[in-house]
Amino acid sequence: MKTNYSRTPLCSSGIEIQREKSNLILNFCRTVNATAYHSGPFRRDYLDRESFRHAGIGLLFHEYSSELYRQAHHGLELNMSAVDMLFNCGPETTGLLSHGVKLLGK
């Protein structure tokens, strides 16, 4: 699925949409004429995929598996933030982060 990302940031509070809890994201996507929605992995459990399909909006789920990297303190803490990796790895961070990312369709 090919996606084109807008370079203009949007704030949902500035957009007039129906804020029905179960369809908030779908309504937001419709309002901005989105053709795809890129989500974290945990929304997979509650997004109504059929409604997105019917609206012609593709779903992509971001999955991230943490790369091992050296940390300043003894022991290893997995799944820390990118900021932790940045302070521990400096310029290597970009390469490490890009290795752990997968985009999965529906």
pTM (whole model) above 0.75: no
CA angle 7, 41, 102 (to 5 degrees): 70
For residues 49 and 19, membership in a common domain is answered with: yes
Domain range for residue 49?
Answer: 12-63
84 and 97 in contact (C-beta within 8 Å)?
no
For residues 58 and 38, membership in a common domain is answered with: yes
For residues 58 and 19, membership in a common domain is answered with: yes
For residues 25 and 52, membership in a common domain is answered with: yes
Count structural domains, the chain. Answer: 2
- Reported as a single tens digit per residue, the pLDDT across 59-91 is 988 776 666 777 877 777 776 777 887 888 888
For residues 43 and 73, membership in a common domain is answered with: no
Q: Please indicate, yes or no, if residue 4 is contained in any of the structural domains.
A: no
- Reported as a single tens digit per residue, the pLDDT across 37-51 is 988 877 878 888 899
For residues 58 and 71, membership in a common domain is answered with: no
For residues 48 and 69, membership in a common domain is answered with: no
By three-state DSSP, how is residue 64 classified?
strand
Closest CA to 79 of 66, 90, 88, 89: 66
